[in-house]
Amino acid sequence: MTLDQIARKYGINTNSLNSKDDALKIGVKSIQELVKGMEQRKADKDFIVAVKKLGEFLYEVSQSTIG
């Protein structure tokens, strides 16, 4: 599946998804928004921590270098 096909499938602007790195950044932004919503709704703290950890992992991967 191409990045354009993936963007269309998930309702993402095709101009915003030009690389796999863009996908990581979109994922991180989405997770940050989810965490804010969960905190406002007083969701289970353990669940919030797990989702935050996933977001932090994706962020670090997107900021990393090879080597």
pLDDT band at 60 (very low <50, low <70, confident <90, very high): confident
Residue 49 above 80 pLDDT?
Answer: yes
pLDDT band at 67 (very low <50, low <70, confident <90, very high): low
- Alpha-carbon gap, residue 12 to 5, rounded angstroms: 10
Cα angle, residue 15 at apex, residues 26 and 58 outer, rounded to 5°: 15
Assess if residue 39 is contained within a domain: yes
Assess if residue 42 is contained within a domain: yes
Residue 58 above 90 pLDDT?
Answer: no
Closest by CA position to 22, among listed 1, 7, 34: 7
Measured distance between the N- and C-terminal CA atoms of the chain, rounded to whole angstroms: 28
Q: How many domains, in total, are found in the chain?
A: 1
Structural domain that includes position 63: 23-67
Cα angle, residue 45 at apex, residues 26 and 49 outer, rounded to 5°: 40
